[in-house]
Structure 1
Amino acid sequence: MPDKQRTQTLQKAERLQKYNALYDAVEVGVSLTAGFTSGSAALIGWGLDSTIEVISASTLWWRLHGEIKDIPDEKVHQREKITLYVIAASFLIVSCFITYDSVNKLINQETANWSTLGIIILCVSLVVNPILIHYKRKYGKKLNSEELIADSKDTFICLYQTVAVLGGLLAVRFLDLWWADPVAALLIVPYALKECYEAFRKARVK
């Protein structure tokens, strides 16, 4: 890719990460408020995943910004490794918390209450996340960036989690399935651990 075209793509990817971090910050505030108010393990886990995404998006922005500013290749490479390690750690932390919180709620048979605020932010996320995934993959392929592609997978997991959490809340509300909320949260864990391993492996070989 010509230098000018690569720079333009880098700038677009950098802006995308800014928007991603800002939107995820909104998700964090709304979902954690709704989750703790309603006692929903799935909403709380979803909010924590959004917290990790803020960190991941910000770290990836830092890496892209460095290349735009034409820092030495060695430092760009170092930032790539750090970004992948941050993404891997993010997946691991979220997986551990969701597992602990969900199992605890299953053991105590805790039922989540209805949360209109939670439903609204989940529905908004169903629209926003596919757009983010599309452009992260697009720019990731153009730039040959494993970090952007890994981050698109992180966002895909968030989308999958959104569907699971929404389904769990609706099942609790309309089908009276008290266990649906923590089970919906646990469905996320295998995917998150898989992506944790992939990001860590790529960081090690860089």
Structure 2
Amino acid sequence: MKLRRRVSVENSLSVKKGVNIELLSIAWMVIEAVVAILSGIAAHSLSLVAFGADSVIELIAGGVLLWRLQIEVRGASHTRVERAEKRSSWVVGIALILLCAYIVIASIDKLLTHHGAETTYVALGLVIASAIIMPYLSRAKKRIGTQIGSKALRADGSCSMVCAYMAWTVLAGVLFRALFGWWWVDSIAALALVYFVWKEGWEAIQEARGKEDACGCGHEN
């Protein structure tokens, strides 16, 4: 009985840690989305706007996941928790697939019209910060997700790592644009993001459909 109570207390503490890390993640997503989208619009950078749009989608997913964790903190049934996880996966998956379509169409249009982008120090600072912060959040979410048995939180950890990959891709585009003045590199960087965004969206949809091991999100890296 004492052992069971101790396990229950430890799980409750882990869930609360999950809530805290998700709150931290949501706060950063707000900053990332606002700065990336506004900087992208000012610099006419599709890759930055796409990066910011992905942050908005992750913000929505984080909000739903936070709701799911708070449900568990309040002692909700396993069935209700699973339903919340699936709802989160559907929202994220569909939104990410739509974002892919936007990126492809906008990138092709910019390439055909020879529409380049400018470089801003604000954008450079943002993507460097994201490249540093997101791996930390990813590891924390996966660790806590494993502790409480939440596939959704582990998957969100993988999403955070994808965000880091996207930041590195955007950073490469910004640097090449600044160093060599290649007008087309922003559109190419944006198209490179499609792989990450599509993979993330498809895995979320498979998870929502109840496909076991539909993605690598639940595996520790």
Answer whether TM exceeds 0.5 for this pair.
yes
Partner of 2:189: 184
Matched residue SS, 2:209: helix
Partner of 1:136: 141
CA distance in 1, matches of 2:79, 2:94: 23
Deviation at 1:151, TM superposition (A): 1.1
CA distance in 2, matches of 1:66, 1:75: 8
* Length, aligned pairs only: 206
Deviation at 1:174, TM superposition (A): 0.9
Partner of 2:42: 37
Matched residue SS, 1:114: coil
Show CA shifts across 1:6-61 (max 9, x none): 11110001111111111110111111111000000111111111111111111100
| TM-score, normalised with respect to structure 1 | 0.95
CA distance in 1, matches of 2:34, 2:47: 15
Partner of 1:17: 22
More displaced stretch, 14-23 vs 82-91: 82-91
| TM-score, normalised with respect to structure 2 | 0.88
Q: In the alignment, does 2:206 pair up with 1:204?
A: no
Deviation at 1:88, TM superposition (A): 1.3
Displacement over 2 Å in runs of 4+: none
CA distance in 1, matches of 2:128, 2:101: 26
Q: In the alignment, does 2:182 pair up with 1:146?
A: no
Long gaps (5+) in structure 2:
212-221
CA distance in 1, matches of 2:73, 2:44: 44
Q: Map 1:32-181 onto structure 2 (within 5 A).
A: 32-181=37-186
- Give the AA of the match of 2:13: Q
Alignment check: 8 A CA contact 1:161 1:185 kept: no
CA distance in 1, matches of 2:185, 2:158: 25
Show CA shifts across 1:114-173 (max 9, x none): 111111111111221111111011112222211112111211121111111111111111
Larger Cα-atom Rg: 2
CA distance in 2, matches of 1:62, 1:82: 11
Alignment check: 8 A CA contact 2:104 2:194 kept: yes
CA distance in 2, matches of 1:126, 1:193: 20
Alignment check: 8 A CA contact 1:87 1:151 kept: no
CA RMSD of aligned residues (A): 1.4
Matched residue SS, 1:188: helix
Identity %: 27
Alignment check: 8 A CA contact 1:85 1:199 kept: yes
Deviation at 1:3, TM superposition (A): 1.3
- Give the AA of the match of 2:180: L
- Give the AA of the match of 1:58: G
CA distance in 1, matches of 2:68, 2:87: 9
